[in-house]
Structure formats: structure tokens, C-alpha cells
């Protein structure tokens, strides 16, 4: 849970996010220069994320620093909005427009996901405060643009999964996340339905709600 406590650097925020999910935020987006330390934290988190990828990862990925840093700063701003309830709706909307650039490569997807994978946690906390919270609708719109990172958030529009499908490791990770949280909002895509059926196989009891939905879905 983010707390509005003085924060010295973005690296400090990243360290808390990746180590425990417990972070500090302060009412600023201006930090001291900590590029070397921040890069080290991001690269370590990236290596750990790659180790957890399903399937064959013989061809290693590379951390794309601009994507990783942009996503981290975006999550920081979201946490600040979540902790500071005085932010007007216009500020939330403005932030939604200024989301990170859409990834165009597998490296960029994974680099952005280091931080953006916490989007569903922020979504749940925002909904717990109020389903009418502007953060809720903004995150549902963002879920369309970052499908891998937003599993658990019903997307405002069907996401484009082309980039994920082109990379088996990313596709496997996407399906695993859908099964883990039983996000049936993602079953609108026939390829997802087919992939989850194959992944579950004879183990439908591991995701009963998902399995029940699949019996009603035709591909």
C-alpha cells in the first residue's frame, strides 16, 4: 500500500516495489539523480522476471531502459494518486492520457511489465475505495493498451494481442496470468480460449470458474 511519506529517489521507490510491493511516495515527481542505482535495480528485476518466464528462454531478452523507467514513473504517479485522495479528477484524466509509450518489441513489453504488472493491485485498491473512483475507469482503459500487465482488470476495449502471440514466452505468461486470477474478461479472444483450454488440459479443477466459462464458449 503506498504511503505519502518523504521519498529521496525513484530508485528507493523501485527497490520497495520489486522487493516487497510496499512503497513510499511523496508529493513530488522530481527526484535526485540516481540513474546508476536505478538502472542496476531495474536490470536485476528484469533478470529475475526472465527466469520466471514459461517455456524456452534460450534466446535471452534485454532490458529496455527507457520502457522500464517510463513504466516505473507511471506506477509511481498512480501510487501517489492512490495515496493522495485530494487529487482532482482532471489530474487523474491527465495522467491517463500520459501513459507510457506502447511497446513494439518483446524486450519493451517485458521491461514495461516490471512495474506495470502492479496495475491490477492498484485497480483493486482503487475499487475498494470507490467503484466510481476515476482511477478505476482510467485503468480499465489502460488495460486495453497493456494486456500482459493488466490481467485482472477488465479492458475497456478488446486488446491487440499480436505482439504477445508472436513470442511464445510472452503468450505463455499471458495465459498463465489469466488462469491464475481466472480473468474471464479475457475470454472474448478465441486464441485465448484455445490457449487456456490447451494449458488446463485435464486440470480444469485448478481454475474452476475459468473452466465453467470455457464450457460455454465456442471457438
What is the full per-residue pLDDT of the chain (219 aa) written as tens digits? 455 455 567 888 899 999 888 787 776 666 666 788 999 999 999 999 998 887 765 557 899 999 999 999 999 989 888 887 777 888 777 877 788 999 999 999 999 999 999 999 999 999 998 888 888 988 998 999 999 999 999 999 999 999 999 999 999 999 999 999 999 999 999 999 999 988 887 667 767 777 777 775 544
Determine the Cα angle at 121 with ends 72 and 104, to 5°.
Answer: 45
CA gap 97, 197 in Å, rounded: 36
CA gap 140, 184 in Å, rounded: 15
Q: Do the Cβ atoms of 112 and 72 come closer than 8 Å?
A: no
pLDDT at 160: 95
pLDDT at 89: 81
pLDDT at 210: 77
pLDDT at 219: 45
pLDDT at 30: 62
CA gap 210, 10 in Å, rounded: 38
Domain ranges (residues) in the chain: 3-158
pLDDT at 49: 92
pTM score, whole prediction: 0.87
Amino acid at each position: 500500500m503506498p504511503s505519502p511519506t518523504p521519498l529521496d529517489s525513484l530508485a528507493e521507490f523501485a527497490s520497495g516495489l520489486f522487493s516487497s510491493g510496499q512503497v513510499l511516495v511523496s508529493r513530488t515527481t522530481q527526484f535526485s539523480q540516481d540513474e546508476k542505482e536505478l538502472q542496476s535495480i531495474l536490470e536485476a528485476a528484469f533478470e529475475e522476471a526472465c527466469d520466471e518466464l514459461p517455456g524456452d528462454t534460450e534466446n535471452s531478452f534485454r532490458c529496455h531502459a527507457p520502457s522500464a523507467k517510463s513504466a516505473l514513473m507511471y506506477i509511481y504517479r498512480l501510487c501517489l494518486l492512490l495515496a493522495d485522495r485530494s487529487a482532482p479528477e482532471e489530474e487523474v484524466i491527465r495522467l491517463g492520457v500520459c501513459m507510457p509509450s506502447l511497446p513494439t518489441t518483446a524486450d519493451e513489453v517485458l521491461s514495461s511489465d516490471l512495474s506495470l504488472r502492479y496495475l491490477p493491485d492498484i485497480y483493486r485498491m482503487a475499487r475498494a475505495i470507490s467503484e466510481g473512483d476515476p482511477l478505476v475507469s482510467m485503468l480499465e482503459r489502460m488495460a486495453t493498451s497493456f494486456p500482459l500487465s493488466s490481467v485482472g482488470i477488465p479492458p475497456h476495449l478488446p486488446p491487440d494481442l499480436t505482439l504477445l502471440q508472436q513470442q511464445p514466452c510472452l503468450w505463455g505468461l499471458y495465459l498463465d496470468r489469466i488462469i491464475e486470477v481466472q480473468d474471464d474478461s479475457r475470454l472474448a479472444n478465441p486464441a485465448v480460449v484455445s490457449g487456456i483450454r490447451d494449458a488446463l488440459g485435464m486440470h480444469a479443477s485448478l481454475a474452476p470458474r475459468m473452466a465453467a466459462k470455457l464450457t460455454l464458449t465456442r471457438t
